């Protein structure tokens, strides 16, 4: 497997500043989308330096009608205690994201669950796909959810993005988004309705992905606190690293 790092994770935002200490990504078109607008530190900042960059990003975002702040910290590096305490006391949502990858041949195959079908999103299934996405995104705010809908519709017509939808006995049950590039495919935003989990639907979405790209490594990023990370380990994914992120809304 060729090296895959957090740098390979798709970022919709444009790199507008690249310094020795950090990279700044921004998209005015998708200004409410957290993953399009953030600062990624190349070196772990001191608390004082973080506060300086935090103030800088806050002013930058406010001038453009953006209310959130998001920061990525250097991969495979623990947060210093003082910085961690500052983030929590400042009401940031601090997460540990884990990077996983697999060669499709290593993914355990199983029969498609009875009543389950997987297909690429087409014009007919696009409304159902968008409706499930909207349900998932609304907890992050109406502005974020509305802008995400526009982004997904745009990606529907972009050949580098593939959107898959799962049905269970005719009901829209889940989805996943795929981003193909070079030697690898990123599997993003794997979702199955809560009341339809543990029926093999998530496995079926992944298996469909492996069959689509048998010669490319497949990778994903999972929150360390989420249950699916245990599923990925059981499915032979290799954990390649971790990264702290912090979001203020």
Give the number of C-alpha atoms closer than 13 A to the C-alpha of residue 39, restricted to the C-beta side.
23
Write down the residue that tokens 């355990």 correspond to: 108
CB 113: neighbour CB atoms within 10 A? 17
What is the separation, in whole angstroms, between the first and last Cα of the chain?
Answer: 37
Neighbours of 196 (CB within 10 A): 19
Is there a common fold for 6-97 and 102-241? yes
Alpha-helical runs (H) found in 213-248: 228-234
Full pLDDT tens readout for the chain, 249 residues: 568 999 999 999 999 999 999 999 999 888 989 999 999 999 999 999 999 999 999 999 999 999 999 999 999 999 999 999 999 999 999 999 999 999 999 999 999 999 999 999 999 999 999 999 999 999 988 988 999 999 999 999 999 999 999 999 999 999 999 999 888 999 999 999 999 999 999 999 999 999 999 999 999 999 988 767 778 888 999 999 999 999 998
List the domain boundaries for the chain. Answer: 6-97, 102-241
pLDDT at 227: 64
**What are the Cα distances from residue 16, in Å, to 36, 59, 165, 175, 224?**
11, 16, 34, 32, 29
Of 201, 217, 203, 232, whose CA–CA distance to 97 is shortest?
Answer: 232
pLDDT for the residue 26:
97
- The top-level CATH class assigned to 6-97 is alpha beta
CATH of domain 102-241: 3.40.630.30
| pLDDT at res. 2 | 63
CB 191 within 8 A of CB 175: yes
């Amino acid at each position: 497997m060729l090296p895959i790092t957090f740098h390979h994770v798709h970022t919709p935002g444009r790199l507008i500043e690249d310094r020795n200490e950090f990279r700044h990504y921004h998209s005015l078109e998708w200004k409410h989308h957290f993953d399009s607008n953030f600062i990624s530190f190349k070196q772990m900042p001191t608390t004082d330096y973080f506060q300086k960059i935090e103030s800088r990003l806050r002013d930058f975002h406010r001038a453009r009608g953006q209310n959130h702040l998001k920061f990525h910290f250097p991969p495979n590096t623990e947060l210093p205690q003082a910085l961690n305490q500052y983030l929590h006391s400042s009401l940031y949502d601090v997460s540990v994201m884990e990077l996983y990858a697999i060669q499709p041949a290593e993914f355990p195959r199983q029969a498609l669950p009875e009543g389950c079908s997987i297909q690429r999103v087409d014009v007919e299934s696009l409304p159902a796909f968008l409706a499930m996405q909207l349900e998932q995104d609304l907890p992050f705010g109406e502005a974020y959810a509305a802008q995400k809908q526009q982004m997904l519709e745009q990606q529907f017509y972009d050949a580098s993005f593939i959107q898959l939808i799962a049905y269970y006995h005719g009901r829209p049950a889940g989805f996943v988004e795929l981003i193909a590039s070079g030697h690898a495919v990123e599997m993003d935003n794997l979702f199955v309705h809560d009341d339809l989990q543990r029926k093999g639907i998530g496995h079926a979405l992944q298996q469909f992905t492996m069959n689509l790209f048998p010669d490319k490594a497949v990778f994903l990023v999972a929150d360390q606190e989420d249950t699916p990370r245990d599923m990925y380990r059981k499915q032979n994914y290799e954990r390649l690293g971790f990264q702290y992120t912090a979001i203020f809304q």
